[in-house]
Structure 1
């Protein structure tokens, strides 16, 4: 049963959650990725193992954590280990299947900027939070999912700074970096879903959310966006997905 009474943010979170399959091992941080993973665990993927950046393994929070240091994450975790152990042995060891990434800017090859806005590194227009573990997540998780709102300010033709590598310059140039992972699997936005072309690795629009026009998506993209010949309309959130999602968000109030 479907319900059209949902927001663009809810559509984005639900769309991202649907990429997660049962038994996936997911590396997540706080915010939208945490919301999407916890939704998936309560809907179609009850056996996913969630690993948070703070070192909690296979955690099962009953409410959304407020930060990666929230004790809710350690209460029912299989184990709590140090951050270096998470990155050295689990992430760089290739044991994590899905990694979530946010971005301030993304380009057509899925490269991410979370460092600066402006061309001058020493004197930028805006200094952003920085890399954190994003470069390692992009390099070592088997697949990555990128989540952000789609505007021309965020979807740019050329990044001011490359914090995390997606498909580099496309056309298999990522392979020269000897990363063990596949690269970004999808960019999930409030307007639709972009996926990489198998030949060029350029991200193209493959799904459009209900009520959004292709022209709207093009107008919100800083490069000439290519459209899949088989573009689909994203399935709207079900009543169950919306109910659980809203209950999860309410736990933070």
Structure 2
């Protein structure tokens, strides 16, 4: 049996941080990559009764490798149900049954708004991005949203160029003003340097923990707003042997997660 203690890469730490935010019996909508790995780490460790589903309609998939898309055939064998988009986004999400939505974005701001539409002005953008997919309704309607992002001044923003998926928009009361359910919104922002949480009064992201190898000063220097630091800030707990065993032996035996190192998640 392998000993994984003390042996991990930054993307594995990020996946484990996401897993720790999922509670037993949660209903979770996940995409591919980090969200799927995080949700399944949780299911194989502390949240065996969590119900995981893809927006494509698959519920409680049992993949033998990381899925390459929400429609990847590896999600189908052994799944509890193979439905469709309307089943997930209509019957479950719009009905208020989803506890956790797990998202990522090309640009994320201090209020947890996510941009996957354009970089630069909408009418004449520098870059066009793929758009919302299911991210907008997930961010609007899930009870809490978990966000994964790279931690630099290109990916984090004081204000996003375009709100594809609303977080707390421009502060307290904004979600309710625009008709979103009460007690919903971003819960945590996990980056390759830190874990940021959202202040219950200001709704702005603050530093909760810094990953091993990072410093508070480095993180603040790479954040484009005046990042506040929790009084209880601490070093992020490294992946446990149980978490790494679930990830490497059950979920990602070919270490496909290492591709994120090449994408800058270091």
Q: TM-score range by the shorter chain?
A: over 0.9
Which 4+ stretches in 1 moved above 6 angstroms?
A: none
1:65-120 deviation per Cα after TM superposition (whole angstroms, max 9, x unaligned): 2221222222222222121232111111111110001011111111110111111x
CA root-mean-square deviation: 1.7
Q: Provide structure 2 residue ranges, at least 5 long, that are not aligned to the other structure.
A: 257-266
1:77 and 1:243 map into 2 onto residues whose CA distance is: 22
Find the residue that maps to 1:135 and give its secondary structure.
helix
2:237 and 2:231 map into 1 onto residues whose CA distance is: 18
Which residue is 2:89 aligned to? 87
Deviates more, 1:74-83 or 1:15-24: 74-83
1:2 and 1:202 map into 2 onto residues whose CA distance is: 36
2:198 and 2:88 map into 1 onto residues whose CA distance is: 28
Find the residue that maps to 2:157 and give its secondary structure.
coil
Which residue is 1:61 aligned to? 63
1:209 and 1:238 map into 2 onto residues whose CA distance is: 14
**1:2–1:236 Cα contact (<8 Å) kept:** no
1:251 and 1:199 map into 2 onto residues whose CA distance is: 43
* TM-score for both structures, normalised by structure 2: 0.89
* Corresponding residue to 2:119 among 117, 120, 139: 117
| 1:158–1:139 CA distance, 2 compared to 1 (3 A) | same
The yes-or-no answer on 1:127 pairing with 2:139 is no
Q: Shift of the alpha carbon at 1:251?
A: 4.3
**1:3–1:236 Cα contact (<8 Å) kept:** no
Q: Provide structure 1 residue ranges, at least 5 long, that are not aligned to the other structure.
A: none
Find the residue that maps to 1:99 and give its secondary structure.
strand
Q: Shift of the alpha carbon at 1:18?
A: 0.8
Q: Shift of the alpha carbon at 1:43?
A: 1.6
1:149 and 1:64 map into 2 onto residues whose CA distance is: 20
* TM-score for both structures, normalised by structure 1: 0.94
